Homo-oligomer: A and B are copies of this chain.
Amino acid sequence: MKQVLDIPAELSGIQQWVLDGLVAVTDEIERALHSDVPAVAALCKQVEQFRGKMLRPTLVLVSGAACGASTDEPPTTELLKLAAVVEMVHMATLVHDDVLDEAEIRRRSQTINDKAGNEAAVLLGDYLISASFRLCASLDDPEPSRLIGKVSMELCEGELLQIQNRDNLSIDEATYFEILEGKTAALVGACTRLGSRAGGASQTIQNSMDVFGRSIGSAFQVQDDLLDLLGTEDVVGKTLGRDLQKGKLTLPLIHHLGNLSHESRARSLTLLENASETRAEATGAKAKAHTNELVQSLKESDSLEYARTTAKSLIERAKSALLPLDDTPARSVLQLLADAVLTRDR
């Protein structure tokens, strides 16, 4: 959390409670991944280096505290286990995403070592998801297992829908949000829902907390799209190129292409293709010229502003979902986390 937020002094109590909790969550994960097979243990040690800001476990813990869990004592075992479960699901998706991404890199230099790594990564991802389900099933409450199973299916659906729409320059906003909902928002919604449930929230509050999580998850992704475009022109050229090479359209581009006259659209599509192709050929100056022209078009169609407004309204929706909660330090932290989605610059 420290890495994500500047926490005011009056919230230092809850901050410490979360930080201590995250240490315990790390222990839970390590226990859940324990293997007597040395090769598996070694892979699990490696994958622990993937761990980033632990945003998802943080959301579980803070949502628990915001909905009744005591912060005078360490988080309950249930909260810790739930926090470990969502992080393990996230780790599994990272590992399998890497398999998919590495596949491209390997096309250029494929070695036997690379292949062994690919196989191991598929199996390690399977191991992680199985361990997370097993840990989740160790709880007395069966609901988390049902939800995590459902959300994991949605994750796959989101990814598959994205693959299906690769290089689809006519993708519409509804499909964009459907992908985002499955790939990102569903799991974040599960974090805040399950945390609140373990804190003792009513069904109504659990539903609100799900809306909170999904909304900040969606806003986070839209903000990601914007960050790809809001740097210097050099940075723009680079990231635009990367997205295009992956055949992935971001919200500003979708808005841009969807709001043009037939003629302007044709021009922008040509620009997009040029930006993508010149990028692939890595001819710096030409790529830069093409992307500059494209970014200028995005500004003219107010597409950056449109994405910015979308992210803002998602965060507004998230914060509204917190209104029924008691005014506690934990709720304040959730509000700060929501605001931070819009102000982060990376």
| B contact residues around A166 at 8 Å (CB) | 116
Contact between chains at B160 and A40 (CB < 8 Å) = yes
Q: Does A152 make an interface contact (CB < 8 A)?
A: yes
Output the nearest chain B residue to A93 by Cβ-Cβ distance.
Answer: B126
With A122-B122, A163-B116, A163-B123 known to touch, is A156 a contact of B103 (CB < 8 Å)? no
Contact between chains at A150 and B134 (CB < 8 Å) = yes
Residues 121-141 of A, flagged 1 when their CB comes within 8 A of B and 0 if not, give 011111101110111111010
Docked Cα-Cα span, A104 to B112, in Å, equals: 10
Contact between chains at A130 and B127 (CB < 8 Å) = no
> A35, A43, A130, A166: which has the most chain B beta carbons within 10 Å?
A130
Contact between chains at A156 and B137 (CB < 8 Å) = no
Interface size, A (range)? 35 or more
Q: Does A110 make an interface contact (CB < 8 A)?
A: yes
Q: Does A142 make an interface contact (CB < 8 A)?
A: yes
Q: Closest 8 A-B residue pairs measured CB to CB? A: A134-B149, A130-B152, A137-B145, A127-B156, A39-B164, A133-B149, A133-B133, A130-B153
Q: Which residues of A contact B (CB under 8 A)?
A: 35, 37, 39-40, 43, 92, 96, 99-100, 103-104, 107, 110, 115-116, 118-120, 122-127, 129-131, 133-138, 140, 142, 145-146, 148-150, 152-153, 155-157, 159-161, 163-164, 166, 178
